[in-house]
Amino acid sequence: MSAERPHVATVEGVKVDTRHWIGGERVASAATFTDISPIDETPIAEVSAGGKAEVDAAVTAARAAFPAWSTMPVAERSAILRRVAEGVEARVEDLAVVETRDNGALIRSHRRGVMPRVAMNFRFFADYAEQELAHPDMEVRGHRERVTYDPAGVVAIITPWNAPLMLATWRIGPALAAGNTVVVKPPEDAPLTASLLADIMKEAGVPDGVFNVVQGVGAEAGAALTAHPGISRLCFTGSVPTSTRVAAAAAANTVPLSFELGGKSPLVVFDDADMDLAVDIAVEQFDNAGQVCLKAARMLVQESIAEEFTRRVVEKAATLSQGDPRDESTDQSALINRKQFDQIDGFVQRAKAEGAKAVLGGGPNEQLGGLFYSPTVLVDAPAGSEILTEEVFGPVVTIETFTDEEDAVTKANDTRFGLAATLVTGDAERAERVSHRLHAGTVWVNCFFVRDLGAPFGGNGKSGIGREGGIWSFDFYTDIKNSVFSPSGWTSQKEN
Ligand code: NAD
């Protein structure tokens, strides 16, 4: 950071303003926090650390912008959001290199998967709002009934670091498309792309105050946002322990919540499965060093194929190249920070002490050092042990066996989470039966991670509250109203 422009960090050659974005202006806080890259644990930016005052200013700006934005014709709003999508597309490379430096996820996924999807989060919901927010009137006993999706107000959005821009825009896109204004609190471990998004919003013509960013740490900026009486919806993506604090703070506000939380998702492999496919899906779980909420880290394999499956997963996972995520050929990067690193290693060492066997990895990558952790496959963990029940959020998977379909379903559903479940089988009828019985928000059969923005997404149990995607997003981000019009002047219809 240069002395003349202390609020600008140059990250991989891209200039990022590290102040808040409030009411269409950059606002600095006296306090800052240091943003550290997981790749080499070096500081890459000093970022404004907001608190109550900044959150209050942002919510006030968002409320002031709400009347004009919420009453703007949908087509006009959608046109602006399509320009945001184009702005994201024009800056995919900048966003990708900054995000990779900031959160350590692979550059190749950011370039080809994540950032194009960020653009989709705006384009899809811009189109969807135009198509779906105008319901045809219904004729009910001679009266006309009209359902309208009224924008709710200010939407507060709090996001985690593992896919910060993608997860934020998956909420921002529909919230804005439905006519709300937004205040985002990005994760302190990867705060930078939210700031670039503010630049893109400005260039696309999003009116001042419609989109606001308050940077800061969770306990201060995050807590202040969740407790602010001026918000109308609260979206939180993050861990279960934080969610209880967020829910408690929000309770006083009686604000509808949408929670996307952790998981302990199963991968169920039957003996009739295509083994190549099953192994490919299993090894995909090391993507983003396992720091993915949907990952199927809990592998359940039918006894008769367990040996072959385990051997082949280990063989394939052992070929993953670990290293700098800025290199297109790297398969697995570093963990996000030292705290996470120690936590993950703690899980693995305790599992081993309890009797689990590491058939691959089992500890830090000593060769690379830093925050690199070896892809780890654990077998023989005692039933009910922590490694089989708690979310690890790292490059660690367990393999257990099951005897038959009943046993598979029982074990798969034996969790307090319910975000996703993946099933690999060659039997179409079994696929129908078992998928129906799996307790999860998303079930993948012979595939993984495929999802359309029009489909509902969310978790059961401790994995979340509510569903978003398609019309489910608009259900959440609007106050749905039914207006009944008399056909002939001011009559009232008393009977029911
Ligand atoms: P986290 O709960 O530590 O933090 C998430 C966000 O909450 C951050 O922005 C943080 O600053 C903020 N925060 C922290 N304390 C707060 C408080 N008291 N009040 C308000 N905000 C506060 O989670 P993380 O470590 O950043 O992310 C990993 C977790 O996120 C994992 O559990 C993962 O499964 C989950 N996740 C879920 C999904 C999903 O869609 N279900 C997606 C990605 C990640």
Together in a domain, 433 and 478? no
Assess whether 354 and 420 both reside in one domain.
yes
Q: How many A from CA of 463 to the centre of ligand 1?
A: 12
Whose CA is closest to atom 22 on ligand 1?
A: 218
Asked if 293 is an active-site residue, the reply is yes
Instruction: Specify the ligand 1 atom closest to the Cα of 419.
Output: 41
Exposure of 297 by Cβ count < 10 A (0-12 exposed, 13-18 middle, 19+ buried)?
A: buried
Overall domain count for the chain? 2
**Predicted local confidence at residue 142, as pLDDT:** 84
Mutate which of 35, 103, 158 for ligand 1? The one with the most ligand atoms within 8 Å of its CB, which is 158
Q: Is residue 62 part of a domain?
A: yes
Domain that holds residue 121: 8-261+463-482
Q: Are residues 206 and 256 in the same domain?
A: yes
Average pLDDT over residues 465-492: 88
Band (pLDDT 50/70/90 cuts) for residue 254 is: confident
Tokens 């001026």, residue located: 230
The CATH number of the domain holding residue 274 is 3.40.309.10
CA of 416 to the centre of ligand 1 (A): 18
Residue 231 has pLDDT above 80, yes or no: yes
pLDDT at residue 490 in the model:
52
Q: Whose CA is nearest to atom 11 of ligand 1?
A: 218
pLDDT of res. 225: 97
The CB density around residue 324, as the number of other CB atoms within 10 Å, is 16
Q: Which of 188, 293, 391, 468 is catalytic?
A: 293
The pLDDT of residue 135 is 75
260 an active-site residue? yes
Output the pLDDT for position 366: 96
If asked whether residues 309 and 437 sit together in one domain, one would say yes
Domain match, 84 and 181 both? yes
Instruction: Examine residue 85 and state whether it is found in any structural domain, yes or no.
Output: yes
Mutate to test the pocket of ligand 1, among 183, 239, 343, 460 (most ligand atoms within 8 A of CB): 239
3 pLDDT higher than 90: no
Q: List residues near ligand 1 (CB under 6 A).
A: 158-162, 167, 185, 187-188, 217-219, 222-223, 226, 237-239, 242, 245-246, 260-263, 293, 391, 393, 419, 459, 464
Ligand 1 atom nearest residue 243's Cα: 2
C-alpha 170: how far from its chain's center?
8
pLDDT band at 250 (very low <50, low <70, confident <90, very high): confident
CA of 239 to the centre of ligand 1 (A): 5
Residue 237's closest CA among 183, 168, 339? 168
pLDDT at res. 2: 40
CA of 164 to the centre of ligand 1 (A): 10
**Span 343-401, pLDDT tens digits:** 999 999 999 999 999 999 999 999 999 999 999 999 999 999 999 999 999 999 999 99
Residue 495, domain member (yes or no): no
What pLDDT band is residue 200 in, cutting at 50, 70 and 90?
Answer: very high
Asked whether the predicted pLDDT for residue 5 surpasses 60, the reply is no
Residue 433 belongs to a domain: yes
459 band by pLDDT with thresholds 50, 70 and 90: very high
Can you read off the two tokens belonging to residue 423? 């099933």
On whether both 397 and 478 belong to a single domain, the answer is no
Which positions ≥6 away from 223 have C-beta within 8 Å? 245, 249
* Whole-number pLDDT of residue 20: 98
pLDDT digits (tens, 9 = 90+) for 64-88: 999 999 999 999 999 999 999 999 9
Supply the residue whose CA is at minimum distance from atom 30 of ligand 1.
238
Q: What is the pLDDT of residues 21-49, one digit of tens each?
A: 999 999 999 999 999 999 999 999 999 99
Expressed in angstroms and rounded, the spacing between residue 60 Cα and the centre of ligand 1 is 25
**What's the CA angle centered on 470, arms 468 and 472, to 5 degrees?**
45
Q: How confident is the model at residue 137 (pLDDT cuts 50, 70, 90)?
A: confident
> Is the model's pLDDT at 4 over the cut of 50?
no
| Ligand 1 mean position, distance from CA 261 (Å) | 7
Residue 244 lies in a domain: yes
Domain co-membership, 235 together with 337: no
One domain for residues 280 and 187: no
> Which atom of ligand 1 lies nearest, measured to the CA of 249?
19
Please tell me whether residues 273 and 255 are part of one structural domain.
Answer: no
**By the 8 A CB rule, do 335 and 371 touch?**
yes
How far is the C-alpha of 115 from the C-alpha of 119, rounded, in Å? 7
Let me know whether 335 and 314 are in one domain.
yes
Q: What mean pLDDT is reported for the chain?
A: 95
